[in-house]
Structure 1
Amino acid sequence: MEKTRVRRSTFSLAVVIIVAFIDAAVGGSSSISRNKPAVKTIKSEDGDIIDCVDIFHQPAFDHPLLKNHTIQVCQFHSRLAGPTSTAKRETLAHVMWPSYYPKSKVKKVSSEPLQQLWQKSGSCPQGTIPIRRTQKNNSITAVHDQSQITVVREIYSDHYGDNKTRLYIYWTADGGVKTGCYDLLCSGFIQVNPRFVLGGSLYPVSTYDGPQYTLTVKIYMDRPTQNWWLFIQDLPVGYWPISLFTNLKFATKVQWMGQVANAQMTTVHIITPMGSGHSPLSSLVDLGRAAFFKNIMYVDENGASVAPGFSANFVSTNPNCYHAQGYDGSDIPGHGFYLFYGGPQGVSSKCN
């Protein structure tokens, strides 16, 4: 059987991720970023080369609208971190924080966090940010039908050249016509944290009926500045300045989703499963079997974090192959609202 080439594979098990789609007008064009001079270089065991670049020399400041931009800095919010080790508190104290943080009533329950593989080989010094060195085959933009900010945990072999699960971002102000890109491949997103590499691989991965490893992602608007901040594992990574967009004071749509895409035009369904390949049943029986989003919330007009509940639309574009089911676990401490999703691999006439 001829192997079908897959552009985008699936989200792995146990991922917590927010994808925010935002309608806005174009605020200016973004320029293509080239590799920047490094203060330090780290060779990751997964083959990635990580350059530690001076925070003030990062690609964002090549954007014409950000030439005179001042990086947003605020005091460390100790109330956000909770009890931490001395080492972690020292790390947090050197990270730039937004001046506003949305309220949440969800009590956290400890879980196995994901890490990035490059961190096993070293770290970037304070005052720098880690940037994955650009390869020649990396694409710069992708076309979408609206302005958006996107955070993804996914296998994307066409873009990154391997089958590793990676954390990456994408943004555009005009559907990818003149603005936007993945990660830091163009000017726009301002990174402030030396701990995370956008586009970097993640480890370990969850296993069916085995340990589950989660990634907590938040996107919200810092009200005083109106910049859109990205948090990963409850740490600020950076922000999309409001000057990249116009009339961008709120999101008109928020989506959480899994996807499988085929780069070839064919009537035969691709053999890649979505998630673990397990079709969800909409219960905690799916936990550890189906891919899921946990503690799903959006920030309302009052700045409070709200679970969408069953008022959200659950849509499967191909219900014969893949399924999406909601589950309300709010009565169980630390669980909140779930979206279970996925479907099996294999060629099926029902999926065509």
Structure 2
Amino acid sequence: MAWSFHFVPLLFFFLLSSASALATSGHGSSGNATAMLRPGRELLRQRRIRALLGKLNKPSVKTIESPDGDFIDCVPSHLQPAFDHPKLRGQKPLDPPEERPKNYNSTVAGRSRAGAVVLQAWHAAGEACPEGTVALRRTTEKDLLRASSLGRYGRKPARRITRRDSTGSGHEHAVGYVNSEKYYGARASVNVCSPRIGDPSEFSLSQIWVLSGSFSNDLNTIEAGWQVSPELYGDSNPRFFTYWTTDAYQETGCYNHNCRGFVQTTNKIAVGAAITPESVYNGRQFDITLLIWKDPKHGHWWLELGPGVVVGYWPSGLFTHLAHHARMVQFGGEIFNAGARGSHTATQMGSGHFPGEGFDRAAYFRNLQVVDWDNSIIRASNLKLLADHPGCYDIKGGFNGYWGTYFYYGGPGRNMKCP
């Protein structure tokens, strides 16, 4: 028994000595020692991936395979990820409000394919999700393996900003904004483009922001639009997306259904799925109309992808400041510049062309409107324009009777004026 008592420490000493000898030998054995540990870390990562997939993907009654490689799961509406949120657990989706904001039917026509039904790539499969379900884009293991961090999967890169100008954070904007009233929603039409992305970890998007709170730490935002993000989606297709946060993008909120919160109510549109067709440079333009408004009855923020498809809502209880109203509304483009090459990114914003090129070439927002205290849609007057780096991405706006308040925006990123 005495022999066996001493055997364990002696064996441990022998193994420790052997590992030390291997680590100090000139045959690359330190790499082998590291490799011996790597399977354990990889196993842990795989377990985390499986657990996260289990949270994000819910049991479906039907799955539709999209021609672009997506899988659209038709999930019973009461089983969607939103209802895992502690404040929403046990609830069921609300019916869309019976009434839209006043002046809802005011013209949004323009020189584009306005009024056309919004199509997504998965619609080409010729199948639909049944009534009582919602169409959810499935998150795959490949999606998670592309993520730079599982802990921040589905979130914008963390940032701290003191005002709209995000210089130094990697996030660059060309936006129009209003901030002189209390706001209860916004509407605009934006053409859908396919900007080139300079680095897979970067993105380019065009959206509406509805904001309240301070930019430093308690910013509440609701966001919706289209986005190109190879890291998030695995391709360069423009995709319909949503976003929200209550703490300036630090710990709360996410894209689409990648965390609990946004409640989808439609089986016709899948958040995160590709939009088709796209605008063609010097050719036909295609735009979508987005409406975000706060329902006066229940206080929730609803999203419509026009014409007429109510996508879902952000429950009022998710927010602090936005539980009441917004203090700012923004329209425009954003890119993330990872700064990996020591020069400015070549990621494009909008169509990748400067606003001076005008219609058919530059990206645009038109018929910019806000929802006021009386639940009326009115023109977004006193619009201010801001471009963080005009030599990279610029913005120029105006007003006419055809497009209302509008602007052209975007640019190529790295060029002679943006080294």
Common fold, TM-score beyond 0.5? yes
Q: Does 1:141 align with 2:155?
A: yes
Correspondence for 1:257: 332
- Structure 1 consecutive aligned stretches of length 4 or more whose deviation exceeds 6 Å: none
Name which of 278, 283, 299 aligns with 2:353: 278
State the alpha-carbon separation in 2 of the partners of residues 209 and 296 from structure 1.
23
State the alpha-carbon separation in 2 of the partners of residues 191 and 153 from structure 1.
17
State the alpha-carbon separation in 1 of the partners of residues 317 and 335 from structure 2.
33
Q: Does 1:107 align with 2:107?
A: yes
Correspondence for 1:150: 223
Q: Does 1:236 align with 2:290?
A: no
How many residues end up aligned between the 2 structures? 290
Q: Does 1:171 align with 2:244?
A: yes
Name which of 280, 284, 296 aligns with 1:223: 296
In structure 2, do the counterparts of structure 1 residues 141 and 269 end up closer, same or farther at CA, with 3 Å as the change threshold? closer
In structure 2, do the counterparts of structure 1 residues 147 and 160 end up closer, same or farther at CA, with 3 Å as the change threshold? same
Q: CA RMSD in A?
A: 2.0
Correspondence for 2:365: 293
1:274 to partner: Cα distance:
2.2
Correspondence for 2:387: 316
Per the alignment, in what secondary structure is the counterpart of residue 385 of structure 2? coil
In structure 2, do the counterparts of structure 1 residues 253 and 159 end up closer, same or farther at CA, with 3 Å as the change threshold? same
The answer to whether the 8 A contact 1:100-1:223 is kept is no
1:132 to partner: Cα distance:
0.7
State the alpha-carbon separation in 1 of the partners of residues 291 and 379 from structure 2.
13
Correspondence for 1:124: 129
Structure 1: segments with no counterpart, 5+ residues: 1-31, 74-96
State the alpha-carbon separation in 2 of the partners of residues 261 and 151 from structure 1.
17
Correspondence for 2:418: 351
In structure 2, do the counterparts of structure 1 residues 289 and 43 end up closer, same or farther at CA, with 3 Å as the change threshold? same
1:273 to partner: Cα distance:
2.9
State the alpha-carbon separation in 2 of the partners of residues 205 and 36 from structure 1.
31
Per the alignment, in what secondary structure is the counterpart of residue 60 of structure 1? helix
The aligned amino acid for 2:121 is L
The answer to whether the 8 A contact 2:344-2:413 is kept is no
Q: Which has the higher contact order (CA 8 A, sep 6+)?
A: 1
Correspondence for 1:43: 65
1:33 to partner: Cα distance:
3.4
1:249 to partner: Cα distance:
1.3
State the alpha-carbon separation in 1 of the partners of residues 360 and 413 from structure 2.
18
State the alpha-carbon separation in 1 of the partners of residues 230 and 256 from structure 2.
15
Counterparts of 1:70-109 in structure 2 under 5 Å?
Answer: 70-73=92-95, 97-104=96-103, 106-109=106-109
What do residues 250-294 of structure 1 show as CA deviations (whole Å, max 9, x unaligned)? 11111111123222344412223322233223xxx7121110011
State the alpha-carbon separation in 1 of the partners of residues 276 and 304 from structure 2.
18
The answer to whether the 8 A contact 1:324-1:340 is kept is yes
What do residues 37-90 of structure 1 show as CA deviations (whole Å, max 9, x unaligned)? 1100011000001110001111111111112334322xxxxxxxxxxxxxxxxx
1:151 to partner: Cα distance:
0.8
Asked which structure has the greater CA Rg, the reply is: 2
Correspondence for 2:188: none
- Structure with the bigger percentage of helix: 2
Correspondence for 2:268: 195
Structure 2: segments with no counterpart, 5+ residues: 1-53, 145-152, 160-214
TM-score for both structures, normalised by structure 1: 0.77
Correspondence for 2:343: 268
1:135 to partner: Cα distance:
2.1
Per the alignment, in what secondary structure is the counterpart of residue 260 of structure 1? strand
